[in-house]
């Protein structure tokens, strides 16, 4: 306890540590309760005076761990700089075609992906080469050769591929068909991509 002259006895540090833990637990509980009440992330962030990314991370941790996520788990070392949302953006970017974001090459390398993440207009992320490789591997994404890759010379190829991907994501259980104005001069190009382990992208040769 604290003496009248302001000095602390042996138990002072322990009491202050418990007080900090209670504050963190109360703050995290406020985030969870506010989210359960239907408030938006931005509103919750203003309520507890933190960033929207931090609020999302607290909510994700609560969904994964339950009440245990309210207790702080402090450890030594530098605090985490890449959030869960950052990791999701990194994985989604690595698995997307570079042409889709205006990059003039057919596949990502670690160096090119790292450079794009640092300057892209959507979500800028600074990450080292080795850390980027570790994050992709942790999410089951590895660099692989594509199978029977074919490249079309159709000038509207990217727009059509975007539409196909949109339909596959929104209506995965439906079957659809489309026709072309005629055969295109398709020539084989050995491709490569970032994809889930042992699941490279495949396209029919014909």
* pLDDT value, residue 84: 86
The predicted model gives 30-40 an average pLDDT of 90
Q: What is the pLDDT of residue 90?
A: 92
Indicate the length of the chain as a whole number: 206
Categorize the per-residue pLDDT at 115 as very low, low, confident or very high, splitting at 50, 70 and 90.
very high
Pick from 85-99, 147-161, 182-196: least confident: 182-196
Of the candidate ranges 3-7, 49-53, 170-174, the one whose mean pLDDT is the lowest: 3-7
pLDDT of residue 54: 86
Least Cα distance to 121 among 101, 148, 149, 100 occurs for 101
Lowest mean pLDDT among 50-54, 60-64, 97-101, 197-201: 197-201
Q: What is the mean pLDDT of the chain?
A: 77
What pLDDT does residue 102 have?
Answer: 85
pLDDT of residue 2: 46
Q: What is the pLDDT of residues 171-187, one digit of tens each?
A: 877 756 565 555 555 55
In this predicted structure, the answer to whether residue 10 has a pLDDT above a threshold of 60 is no
- pLDDT of 69-109, one tens digit each? 887 765 555 666 788 889 999 999 998 888 888 888 888 88
């Amino acid at each position: 306890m604290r003496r009248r002259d302001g000095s602390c006895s042996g138990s002072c540090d322990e009491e202050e540590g418990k007080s900090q833990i209670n504050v963190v637990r109360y703050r995290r509980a406020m985030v969870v309760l506010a989210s359960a009440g239907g408030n938006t992330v931005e509103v919750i962030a203003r309520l507890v005076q933190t960033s929207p990314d931090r609020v999302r991370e607290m909510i994700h941790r609560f969904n994964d761990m339950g009440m245990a996520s309210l207790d702080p788990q402090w450890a030594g070392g530098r605090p985490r700089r890449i959030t869960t949302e950052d990791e999701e953006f990194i994985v989604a970017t690595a698995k997307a075609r570079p042409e889709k974001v205006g990059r003039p090459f057919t596949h990502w390398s670690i160096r090119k992906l790292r450079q794009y993440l640092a300057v892209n207009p959507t979500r800028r992320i600074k990450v080292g080469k080795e850390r980027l490789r570790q994050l992709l591997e942790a999410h089951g994404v590895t660099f692989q050769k594509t199978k029977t890759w074919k490249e079309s010379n159709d000038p509207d190829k990217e727009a059509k591929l975007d539409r196909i991907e949109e339909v596959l994501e929104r209506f995965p259980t439906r079957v659809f068909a489309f026709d072309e104005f005629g055969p295109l001069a398709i020539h084989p190009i050995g491709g490569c991509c970032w994809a889930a382990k042992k699941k490279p992208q495949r396209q029919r040769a014909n």
